Amino acid sequence: MGETTDKNGKRGFVLTLQTREQHIRREKATSNICSNQALNALNATIYLSVMGKEGLKKVALLCAGKAAYARKKLMETGCFKPVFNAPVFKEFILEYKGNVGGLNEKLMKEKIIGGLEAGLFYKELENTWLVAVTEKRSRKEIDILAGKVGL
């Protein structure tokens, strides 16, 4: 999307640098884009406009704070061991003492979708649990999760 001016000098926008891909020498194109994901980009633009400079930072801090709280509560159950030491943001990975697939099945009966079984993607991470906590989760929900895991 390129900025330009109209014939009266007023600012306007056009699709630019598009012709060379599919209209001129099209059999030599280096991309074949047609429809795109612009509606999703629009949603994100509106979200970023709403959150702005301060809001985005506050959301990030909420995510980090709630993830840290959840990590602490889960560690307190005695069912997990840490896997990595580096700082985490809104996701963290823990090693479960038993079969993590079984843990997720147990939680599903309680209407909770548990963490992701990272071992499905990385063999060396067998029986680990990738947990994501965002600003949308409440302390109460986190406490319930830790309570059900510890049962």
Partner 1 sequence: MHQDISLIFEKSIPGREAFSLPECDVPLKDINELYPAELLREKPANLPEVSEVDVIRHFTALSKRNHGVDSGFYPLGSCTMKYNPKINEDAAALPGFEKIHPYQDPKSIQGALELMYNMDGMLSEITGMDRVVLQPAAGAHGELAGLMIIKAYHEHRQDFKRKKIVIPDTAHGTNPASAAVAGFDVLEVKSAADGGVDLESLKNAMSDEVAGLMLTNPNTLGLFDRNIGLIADIVHQAGGLLYYDGANANAILGISRPGDMGFDVVHLNLHKTFSTPHGGGGPGSGPVGVKKQLIDFLPGPLVEKGKDGFYLNHERPLSIGRMKSFYGNFGIVVRAYAYILTMGAKGLREVSETAVLNANYIMAKLKDYYNLPYDTACMHEVVFSGQRQKELGVSTLDIAKRLLDFGYHPPTIYFPLIVKECMMIEPTETESKETLDEFIAAMVQIAGEAENDPGLVRGAPYSTAVARLDEAKAARNPVLSYVPLCGCDI
The reply on whether position 85 binds partner 1 by CB under 8 A is no
> Nearer Cβ to partner 1, position 123 or 140?
140
Least Cα distance to 146 among 102, 99, 110 occurs for 110
The reply on whether position 56 binds partner 1 by CB under 8 A is yes
Give the total of residues touching partner 1 (CB under 8 A): 64
What are the C-alpha distances in Å from 89 to residues 61, 117, 146?
9, 19, 19
The reply on whether position 102 binds partner 1 by CB under 8 A is no
> Nearer Cβ to partner 1, position 126 or 135?
135
Ramachandran sector of residue 145 (left: φ over 0; alpha: ψ -120 to 50; beta: rest): alpha
Which one of 47-55, 77-85, 92-100 is the stretch in contact with partner 1 (CB under 8 A)?
Answer: 47-55
SS3 29: coil
Which one of 35-43, 75-83, 91-99 is the stretch in contact with partner 1 (CB under 8 A)?
Answer: 35-43
The reply on whether position 1 binds partner 1 by CB under 8 A is yes
> Nearer Cβ to partner 1, position 6 or 124?
6
Q: Is the dihedral of CA 8, 9, 11, 13 positive or negative?
A: positive
